[in-house]
A and B are shown apart, each in its own frame.
Chain A
Amino acid sequence: MKLGLVIDLDTCVGCHGCATACKQWNTSGTIGPLSDKDPYGKDPNGSWLNRIRTYEVDDAPNSKTVHMPMSCMHCEEAACVTVCPTGASYKRAEDGIVLVDQDKCMGCNLCSWACPYGARELDPNEGTMKKCTLCVDRIYDEKLPEDERKPACVLTCPTKSRVFGDFDDPDSEVSQLVRERAGKQLMPELGYNPVNTYLPPRNKPIVEVQEVTSLPESLKQWVNKLIAR
């Protein structure tokens, strides 16, 4: 099994619902509370496992605002696992999820140096590294109803931009989406082979902006407006 997420950049509106849901789910669970330092004060800081970064692509009038939610990509060649000296960072053989063993981590930060996507953050209170667990404590939880055994971020997304599934299964929804929409990996040149795939925005026609070009045109528009009233 190669579990991971597909994130649709065409429909993500940057609402941060997935970031909030992740933060809430991880107030308990496998990696415990995500600490905040001075959350209501002047200079807050804190550990989040999912961050949405917004970019402006291309120049007007073709420009587009793209929101990119980024959490751990659960890379196949995860360097964060290779560099870890204590063995706290490991990739599960059965489903490919990369996790941090909170009992072994010594907080040396080397894994965050190795991660190109900024997936790993140091918890300011506990001194250990925390990252997206792909809600491993939800997806295998027998006590949850079958259709809720998905990561919190996937369940909460209002535009259904996040899809969870098995990339090793060619008929799964994630595999189909990647094929249909030409899903891409981020920073593939580094060779980490991230599993999480991003679906690029669809090509859409440019919305024409009507501009007044001459006096007869503007007179016609004024007359049309008068009649409409």
Chain B
Amino acid sequence: MHPAFSVLVFTVMSGAGYGLVTLLIIAHLSGFTSLQSTNVLLSGTILAVVLITGGLLSSTLHLANPKNAWRSFSRFKTSWLSREAVFAVLFYPFILLYLIGIWSQGSDISGVFLFCGVLAAILAMVTLFCTSMIYASLKTIRQWHSSLTPVNYLILGLMSGSLLLMSVLSISAGKIPQELRNITLAMLALGALVKIIYLFWIGKPTGSTINTATGFTQASVRLFDQGHTANSFLNDEFGYTVAANKLLCLRALMLVIAFIIPFLLMLMADKWLITLAALLAVAGLLIERWLFFAEARHVVRLYHGDQRT
């Protein structure tokens, strides 16, 4: 699959934003002392909203006919993209009320504002889940069609969110509590683990082949002619192939930049090293998302020469 830059930016930015806002609200309402500062809560939440909004706007850039984009809310009952659109918009009034609550009552919010905070955290994770299900629901792309896809999206979103939260805390509060640091380190380890499980899982060849695609299951089948001498929409959209050694290099790079270096940096106390860890993790996740798209092979490739996907 051709990795569209706008979709990469969308999923990584909004994933980090949703992770940040969820962890911030949970930590705030659970009573962590360092989170009871109006400064931290406002700056963290506003950063999250900026990331989420930027990400969502970026996603509209990949539409070929955006004037009909408003219709994308209409098929909530059947389409995951529709569900994502609805929940993404539904998130905003609740997070804005939470922000107003913090701004007017400080960290000791109550009543409606508290309730809105809880709902905003829930809606953030639901929206992230719906985004991942857009990809996971496609039977035509076996690398995506598994429960590992939403698990990866949610955990990596929470991981990048936790790193951003640590960065915000260390810059505005000066130091971060050991428990939150441990949670972040655990998220990094968990993120690396689910990513590695995913990489092993997609390595196993399985599913449709050129034989099932053409119906000739008792003999070898080879593409003779794709029927057109120049590219078609299908070649451009699905024909993206990266050399295997380049993919392996990028996987190694991704593991180092997104997980290993941020883990080591998180063991330090310096606020700029922690911020660097957050930025590196986001950069590493951009590579991870690029690989997620580049390693995906749509079954229509079986009609264009691939023997298996």
Contacts and interface: CB of A to CB of B under 8 A. Distances in A.
Interface of A: 16, 19, 43-48, 51-59, 62, 65-66, 68, 70, 79, 81-88, 103-110, 112-118, 121-122, 124, 126-128, 184-191, 198, 200
Given A54-B226, A88-B71, 11 more contacts: A54-B225, A55-B221, A79-B138, A87-B74, A107-B66, A113-B141, A114-B140, A118-B234, A187-B212, A187-B213, A198-B215
A115 B62 CA distance: 19
Contact of B140 (A16, A52, A82, A190): A190
Interface in B132-147: 134, 137-141
Interface of B: 1, 62-69, 71-75, 78-82, 85, 134, 137-141, 207-208, 210, 212-216, 219-228, 230-234, 236-238, 298-300, 302-304
Contacts of A55: 210, 214, 216, 221-224
Given A85-B71, A86-B75, A128 B214 contact: no
Contacts of A108: 62-64, 72, 81
Given A83-B81, A109-B237, A189-B208, A116 B299 contact: yes
A118 B140 CA distance: 11
Contact of B228 (A51, A68, A191): A51
Given A55-B214, A56-B222, A106 B66 contact: yes
B219 to A, nearest CB: 4
Contacts of B63: 106-108, 127
B75 A66 contact: no
13 contacts: A51-B232, A53-B227, A54-B223, A58-B219, A106-B67, A107-B66, A107-B68, A108-B63, A108-B81, A112-B234, A114-B140, A116-B208, A188-B212
B214 A186 contact: yes
B233 A45 contact: yes
Contacts of B300: 115-118
Contacts of A188: 212
A126 B67 CA distance: 12
Contacts of A79: 138-140
Contacts of B137: 83
Contacts of B233: 45, 47, 112, 121-122, 124
B83 to A, nearest CB: 9
Contacts of A124: 233
Contacts of B212: 186-189
B224 A54 contact: yes
B224 A56 contact: yes
Given A107-B64, A112-B237, A190-B299, A87 B230 contact: no
Contacts of B68: 86, 88, 103-107
A66 B224 CA distance: 9
A110 B81 contact: yes
Contacts of A88: 68, 71
A86 B214 contact: no
Nearest to B217: A184
Contact of B299 (A44, A52, A187): A187
Contacts of B226: 51, 53-54
Contacts of B302: 187
A65 B219 CA distance: 13
Contacts of B139: 79, 114, 116, 190-191
B276 to A, nearest CB: 36
Contacts of B141: 113
A45 B72 contact: no
A55 B302 CA distance: 11
Contacts of B85: 85
Nearest to B228: A51
B24 to A, nearest CB: 30
User: Which 4 A-B pairs have CB atoms at the shortest separation, nearest pair first?
Assistant: A107-B64, A127-B64, A127-B65, A86-B71
